[in-house]
Homo-oligomer: A and B are copies of this chain.
Amino acid sequence: MPQNSLVNLVNYEDATPEVKEIFDDIMETRQSEYVNHIWRALASHPPLLKQFWTQMKEVMIKPSRLDPLTKELIYLAVSITNSCTYCINSHTASARKKGLDDEMLGELNAIVALANAGNRLTEGYQIPVDEMFQSEMSSDWKGK
């Protein structure tokens, strides 16, 4: 018996035309007949479904300077740090499709663990930032 979500997961048949259109876009963009749970839960408030899918396409799917696997690794690093079970599961699956294997996953986890450890050490000792790291200048709002 699966754990329940706090809203009904909308299925395709019962969806409004507005929601169906987004479900169709998700399936076409991903070349898959399956729409995973997060999108069906967000469909309980269609404006939110639209906002988040638009962002996801813009940030994660549209070709850009960072390659697709690197983007997934960054997304995964955040999700691990936030202990987001659903996100870790779904984005590990996405990353595996883009080439992630156990060795790379091991390296990713080692870096995430090290970064979390290092973050606490600098907090624990309240390390002041080295001046050499502060290279950029703030400027006034209305120009010189």
A residues with CB within 8 A of B: 2-14, 34-38, 40-42, 44-45, 47-48, 51-52, 55-56, 58-60, 64-66, 70-71, 73-75, 77-90, 92-93, 102-144
Contact = CB atoms under 8 A, between A and B. Distances in A.
Taken together, the copies of this chain in the complex come to 6
Main secondary structure of the interface of A (DSSP, over half): helix
Given A13-B142, A88-B123, A111 B37 contact: no
A137 B4 contact: yes
A120 to B, nearest CB: 5
Nearest to A80: B124
23 contacts: A6-B88, A7-B136, A12-B141, A45-B102, A48-B107, A52-B118, A70-B70, A74-B77, A75-B118, A78-B81, A78-B116, A79-B119, A80-B124, A83-B119, A83-B123, A84-B118, A88-B124, A89-B129, A90-B129, A90-B133, A109-B125, A113-B118, A117-B117
A81 to B, nearest CB: 5
A48 B79 contact: no
B116 A120 contact: yes
